[in-house]
Amino acid sequence: MKIYNTLSRAIEEFKPLDDKNVTLYTCGPTVYDYTHIGHIRTYVGVDVLKRTLSFLNYKVNHVMNITDVGHLSGDNDEGEDKLEKGAKKQGKTVWEVAEFYTNYFIETIRQINVIYADITCKATDHVDDMIQLIKKLEEKGFTYATDEAVYFDVMKFNNYGNLSRQKLDEKLQGVREEVHVDPQKKHPADFALWFKRVGRFKDHTMRWNSPWGDGFPGWHIECSAMSMKYLGETIDIHTGGIDHIPVHHENEIAQSESATEKQFVKYWVHYNFLRVEGEKMSKSLGNLLTIDDVLKRGIDPLSLRLLFLQTHYRQSMNFTWDAAQGANEAYKKLKEQVISLRGQSDRSVLSEEKLIKIDEYRKRFTDALENDLQTPQAVAIMWEMLKSNIPSPDKLDLLFEMDQVFGLRLNEVTEEYIPDEIKKLVDLRQQKRVEKQFEETDKLRKQIEEKGYIVEDSPTGYRIKKK
């Protein structure tokens, strides 16, 4: 398998540290607001990576964090804590906000059929681990304290900027009036490991005792502490959105490698942005769409998943409702194919030619995935296979095999429930059709359609389906 590594800016052959055992860490959600479809695209991407590794017989140990403290509204330690800000806005406690949006996230990824991580860890449950890691950095001389916080000194880490390819002199602090800058901070890129409960954070609700006083951890230290606790000091794959590259992931590398003197991550995998109707998603534009918005449009969440599979994870994607509706129709056709293939269950002895063809489809599908997860190609191969002349049972087996990666739940597809009233109208229509009473047949067809169903005629019979 080959995968693009952000660190090298190249597609590399994937070689895990421990043979076929893979350690995978995912930057999870900051649970202060609703999970939107941009987040969903990223988590579907991670899920496809994990499913592909399993498909290729790797054993994956997957850890994902839940950030429920310490993530400020600006990545460079300026602004408010996102959880505190959300709590004030909604008139709830920070704990209530965190619980509500954590549950919303879990329900969202359930509907989109993302396999849950083996370990999901909350930042607030691992503060002691963070304190121990900060103490280690302090002992090694990588930190300094101000009246407001304990900072990591980026000038003492020689490889700072290797991931983002940014030079330290390009990393400037925001200078807007409303942005708070610690006057004792040495360099704009220095980042907080621990915030003291003073000044703007004197009333911070979430707080813990530490050697540096009452306070709470910074965002960046959380992922390092939790990933190392569960996966070891060096991990195979770390995933996240491309927005994490210049600050969050750069900082994770600096603090982790300074503490352990080992490479933190072998392969960095990042997912590109999702735009909505040609525009960047933002609250001000009111286009932060959630799974609820998708459902309100009558679109199956798995249709959204199918839509995401049709753009490569490293490309930006423009979401439109027309495209979503098109994916919904395509997903319906895919489910209809499953039902139709199940009804043609006679397995015949395969000719050499057809055996070769099945193996070719399987190989092309696997090759597409092994080439940096080319899911658009893999989806095209699936449709091509379904149109081929290989026997139906083998076609269905191959489709289910492909769906181990796609995650569209095709093996769960069953005939839709058709109300008795509709069945009776269809039976009557068939009778009139046999009797060549075509005017009556047409009236009954319209009546069935008005009730939300369609009858499809074929040389071998007919099929009823929802409109």
86 and 144 part of one domain: yes
320 and 257 part of one domain: no
Q: Cα angle at 53 between 50 and 56, to 5 degrees?
A: 150
DSSP codes of every residue in 245-265 = IIIIIHHHHHHHHHHHSS-SE
Of 233, 251, 271, which one is at a domain's C-terminal end?
271
Determine the pLDDT at residue 174. Answer: 45
d(CA 274, CA 327): 16
Say if residues 413 and 435 touch (Cβ distance below 8 Å): no
Q: Quickly list H helices, 242-344.
A: 250-260, 291-296, 301-309, 321-342
d(CA 147, CA 5): 39
Pair of tokens at residue 322 = 């027309």
CB neighbours of residue 95 within 10 Å: 14
239 and 107 part of one domain: yes
Question: Alpha-carbon torsion 164, 168, 170, 174, what sign?
Answer: positive
- At residue 212, φ and ψ (nearest 5 deg) are -105, 15
- Name the residue range of residue 333's domain: 279-412
Question: Alpha-carbon torsion 105, 111, 117, 118, what sign?
Answer: positive
Query: What residue has token string 């392969």?
Result: 267
Determine the pLDDT at residue 78. Answer: 76
Say if residues 204 and 84 touch (Cβ distance below 8 Å): yes
Pair of tokens at residue 270 = 């990042």
264 and 122 part of one domain: yes
Pair of tokens at residue 396 = 């269905």
263 and 305 part of one domain: no
189 and 139 part of one domain: yes
Of 250, 271, 292, which one is at a domain's C-terminal end?
271
d(CA 384, CA 49): 23
d(CA 357, CA 83): 55
Residue 193's alpha-carbon distances to 187, 213, 218, in angstroms, are 14, 13, 5
212 and 285 part of one domain: no
Residue 1's alpha-carbon distances to 269, 314, 360, 376, 384, in angstroms, are 14, 17, 18, 17, 23
Give the CATH number of the domain where residue 204 resides.
3.40.50.620
211 and 290 part of one domain: no
Residue 293's closest CA among 304, 285, 284?
A: 304
Question: Alpha-carbon torsion 370, 375, 381, 387, what sign?
Answer: positive
Number of helices and strands (H, E) in the chain? 14, 16
Residue 173's closest CA among 70, 73, 72, 75?
A: 75
Query: What residue has token string 């600006």?
Result: 74
Say if residues 214 and 196 touch (Cβ distance below 8 Å): yes
d(CA 269, CA 235): 12
Residue 433's closest CA among 466, 462, 464?
A: 462
Pair of tokens at residue 238 = 């770390």
Q: What is the tally of structural domains in the chain?
A: 3
17 and 158 part of one domain: yes
Of 271, 300, 333, which one is at a domain's C-terminal end?
271
pTM, 2 dp: 0.88
Q: Quickly list H helices, 73-201.
A: 82-90, 94-111, 127-139
Give the CATH number of the domain where residue 306 resides.
1.10.730.10
87 and 172 part of one domain: yes
314 and 357 part of one domain: yes
289 and 396 part of one domain: yes
Q: Going residue by residue through the chain, which has 467 residues, state the pLDDT in tens, using 9 for 90 and above.
A: 999 999 999 999 999 999 999 999 999 999 999 999 999 999 999 999 999 999 999 999 999 999 999 888 877 777 888 999 888 888 999 999 999 999 999 999 999 999 999 999 999 999 999 999 999 999 999 999 999 999 999 999 999 999 999 888 766 554 444 457 889 999 999 999 999 999 999 999 999 999 999 999 999 999 999 999 999 999 999 999 999 999 999 999 999 999 999 999 999 999 999 999 999 988 778 889 999 999 999 999 999 999 999 999 999 999 999 999 999 999 999 998 898 888 775 666 666 777 889 999 999 999 999 999 999 999 999 999 999 988 888 899 999 999 999 999 999 887 776 777 888 888 888 878 877 888 888 999 899 888 888 888 765 466 777 77
